[in-house]
Amino acid sequence: MTRPLDLDDFYDLSLVTDLAVSPDGRRDAFVADEFDREDDERRSSLFVVPTDGSRDPHRLSRASDASAPVWSPDGSKLAFTAARDTDAEIEVTRETDESEADGETDESDDTDESDEDADQQADTGTDDPADEPRPQVWAFDLELGGDARQLTEFEEGAKGFDWGPEGDRLVVAARDPTDDQREYLAHRREEDGPVVTERLQHKFDGQGWLDDVTTYLFVVDYATRETERLDDAYGGGAREPATGLSPAWSSEGTIAFLSNRTDRPDDNYVMDVYTIAPDGSDCRKLTDSDLTASRVRWHPEGDRLAFVGGDPENWYAPSRVFVARGVDTASDSPTYESWSGDLDRTVARYGELAWDGDDLLAAIGDEGLTRLARFSEDADPERTFDAQGRDRTVEGFDLRGGTGVVLLSDPGDGKDLHAVDADELSGGSEPTRLTAVNDDLLADRHTPEARRFTFESEGDEIEAIAYFPDDFDPDDPDPGPLVASIHGGPISYDAPTFSFDYSYLTGRGYVVVRTNYRGSSSYGRAFSEQIRGEWGPRETADVLAAVEESVSRGWADTDRCFATGFSYGGITTGYLVAESDRFAAAGAEHGVYDFRSAFGTDDSHVWWENDFGLPWENEEGYEAASSIVDVGEVDTPLLVTAGGEDWRCPPSQSEQLYVSVKKQGVPARLVVYPDEHHDIGDPDRAIHRLEELTDWFERHDPEA
């Protein structure tokens, strides 16, 4: 017999994230997030596993967090970013140099303590000795063994890197403040000084207040750690906090990177592809400022460059795969073209572009599923990896050396890495499972069955995914409580996936229904674009139709239906309770409810202008999208949550909704998580969120 997941089981989860296949395809590096119960922290460790499945993964890092593994071209080294204590080798060298300098200049030990502190902060790249270290690039030498060696020492940390073709140098993106900027940053951080900015994009969720410090590319010598700044390789723009410069170094020696150098880079979502020689010469712009470029990937021969391109003014348009030719520094006429043909499906946010010979493989969103597709120069894209089926989804992908590794998420079995030969991708054989990170946890715990179902809403066919409690027979059901759980985005989609939340809720007897409402991606541009500039009515109608369909199938008790959603799901929950009294209770999490007052206080002013125009030019549009306008109609008991430092959906939005509902005497509860951004990171708070949500539903359940 299985038993439901307990909230404490959250601490025993392992979540696989970044993955990178070695150049020969024989090994895969990946990061797994684990949770420290005692310190209430998420820990990210680096692992390596053979892709033939011959042994279990080997843990490389234990001491601190790790992310973004990248193999050296010969596969002998594995670099990654981590915020760790300074390498002992650097510390010893520094102390020796300082001792020699002190001996030459001043033999007294009557040094000002504050000057020592300032020197320490400058050396370690931290603003205060008590602060956490900055992320730097580290590397394991897998042939020599031993601990990782620190390769960079940027005062503001490293923000993306790649290996040079010989493995003796790296290109690293890092912020490089001027003396005046350094003084401002020190005053801001050490003395809690005022925020001063002239940037239009003045904040970004997860990064806080933005400044005007420029991020450059640096070439770093592996052996000596000596760095050389490439003055013409710099970033900029409203999207840089999200994409970074994404440096990529080709086998032929050319470095590609992303930048926005339009007239008003903070006022659009353009990201162009540039190339530059490693000596800093011959900087070239490849694209025409008509794309939001990302995920740059060189062909192994170095003569072609692939990247993903989205519409910077219309996020509902599917992003496409592009390939550029003639991009080495010797070419006078580089060109690029889309390989997506007439494929009306977006490139998914999961995984990398991967070359297989002269073809490209990428994950796409395809009718409520993330799956792989093959892109070729002279043929239409083809869906592949049929062995995946429709009941599990891809949440990570990479391919090198003829071997692909996919992170498959299965509602019942969890999320694990699987390997498949590139030649066998189109076949139906089951891939080789490489990890079993949660098998021990899930062995005797309930995980839900998931089922797709469709229904009609205002003339459109809509698809949803239902997750069922243990011993629940959807074909011969006993109606119980239902949670309409609404995805964010809105330009996203639900696929069958393992989720601790869904497992926990179904373990408590709820049917969980996730609706791919109009506006969701993966069903084509026309389906997604229906809500552009008119948020609210279609999503509301589709979620309500999914609930009514569930009731009509006998899955749900009509009086015991609840609703919740996070981010855009929170926004939609606001629409639902303002337009309907269908639900016994609801939880609006981290949403926006008054778009006029949100404009300029969040990090999404470019998006709002692209969708709605400017608020002083389209007052009616902003008002129509704001559920706060109809808050007087709300009589549904409402839980409202927010992150105290959420710059995507500012906490003031949740406060407005809460006070407006509470003022009318409607049962309401506000939960704010101090210092949290748009997502909730600390495990204790993730558990608290689930506890608050289920307690709220149970408090207002008619049969409680």
Q: What is the mean pLDDT of the segment spanning 527-541?
A: 97
Q: What is the tens place of the pLDDT at every residue in 6-58?
A: 999 999 999 999 999 999 999 999 999 999 888 888 889 999 999 999 999 99
Confidence label for 119 from pLDDT (cuts 50, 70 and 90) = very low
How high is the pLDDT of residue 102? Answer: 57
- Residue by residue, DSSP assigns 607-668 as HHHHHH--TTT-HHHHHHT-GGGGGGG--S-EEEEEETT-SSS-HHHHHHHHHHHHHTT--E
Q: Is the pLDDT of residue 224 over 50?
A: yes
Quickly state the pLDDT bin for 87 (edges 50, 70, 90): confident
**Predicted confidence band at 106 (pLDDT cuts at 50, 70, 90)?**
very low
Q: Which helix (H) or strand (E) holds 191?
A: helix 179-191
Q: Is the pLDDT of residue 100 over 60?
A: no
Report the pLDDT averaged over residues 149-153. 96
Cα diameter, the chain: 87
Is pLDDT of 545 > 50?
yes
DSSP 8-state symbol, 689: H
The single residue listed with the structure tokens 């890495």 is 417
Which single residue is written with the structure tokens 């027979």? 473
**Residue 124: enclosing H or E segment and its boundaries?**
helix 113-124
pLDDT category at 108 given cuts 50, 70, 90 is very low
Terminal Cα distance for the chain, rounded: 26
> Which residue is listed with tokens 């809690």?
192
- For 181-212, b where at least 16 C-beta lie within 10 A, e where not — what string? beebbbebeeeeeeeeeeeebbbbbeeeebbe
pLDDT at residue 126 greater than cutoff 90: no
Helix (H, G, I), strand (E, B) or coil at 2: coil
- Which of 46, 52, 54 shows the shortest CA–CA distance to 20? 46
> CA 223, CA 237: separation in Å to the nearest integer?
34
CB 73 within 8 Å of CB 251: yes
CATH 2.120.10.30 occupies which residues in the chain?
13-109+126-357
Contacts of 267 (CB under 8 A, 6+ apart): 200, 238, 606
Peptide bond into 469 cis (omega under 30): no
Contacts of 682-691 with C-beta under 8 Å, sequence gap 24+, read 682/40, 682/41, 682/42, 683/10, 683/11, 683/35, 683/36, 683/37, 683/40, 683/41, 683/42, 684/40, 686/10, 687/7, 687/8, 687/10, 689/589, 689/641, 690/7, 690/10, 690/501, 690/504, 691/7
Residue type, 97: D
Please compute Rg for the chain using Cα positions.
Answer: 26
Q: How far apart are CA 333 and CA 327, in angstroms?
A: 8
pLDDT for 122: 33
Site of tokens 């239009």: 200
Outline which parts of the chain fall under CATH 3.40.50.1820.
448-699
Instruction: Give the torsion through C-alpha atoms of 395, 399, 403, 409, to 10 deg.
Output: 0
Cβ-contact 296, 256 below 8 angstroms: yes
Report residue 676 as tokens: 């949290």
What are the C-alpha distances in Å from 237 to residues 204, 244, 258, 577?
A: 12, 10, 10, 37
Q: Residues 186, 271: contact at Cβ < 8 Å?
A: no
Average pLDDT value for residue range 431-454: 95
- pLDDT at site 16: 95
Our CA dihedral for 101, 102, 106, 107, rounded to 10 degrees, sits at: -130
Statement: residue 628 has pLDDT above 70: yes
pLDDT of residue 101: 56
The predicted model scores a pTM of 0.92
Question: Cβ contacts of residue 302 below 8 Å, gap of 6+?
Answer: 165, 250, 251, 252, 253, 254, 328
pLDDT score at 120:
31
704, pLDDT greater than 90: no
pLDDT > 90 fraction of the chain, expressed in percent and rounded: 86
The CATH architecture of the domain made up of 448-699 is: 3-Layer(aba) Sandwich (3.40)
**Do residues 256 and 305 make contact, with C-beta atoms less than 8 angstroms apart?**
yes
Q: Tell me the β-bridge partners of 445.
A: 3
629-641 confidence digits (pLDDT tens):
999 999 999 999 9
pLDDT at 113: 32
Q: Band of the pLDDT at 96, cuts 50, 70, 90?
A: low
Cα distance between residue 403 and residue 209, in whole Å = 42
Write out pLDDT tens, residues 176-220.
Answer: 999 999 999 999 888 789 999 999 999 999 999 999 999 999 999
- 316: pLDDT strictly greater than 90: yes
Task: Spell out the SS3 assignment of 494-537.
Answer: CCCCCCHHHHHHHHCCCEEEEEECECECCCCHHHHHCCCCCCCH
Reported as a pLDDT band with limits 50, 70 and 90, residue 329 is low
- pLDDT bin (cut points 50, 70, 90) of residue 65 is confident
CATH 2.120.10.30 fits 13-109+126-357, yes or no: yes
Give the separation between CA 503 and CA 444, rounded to whole angstroms: 13
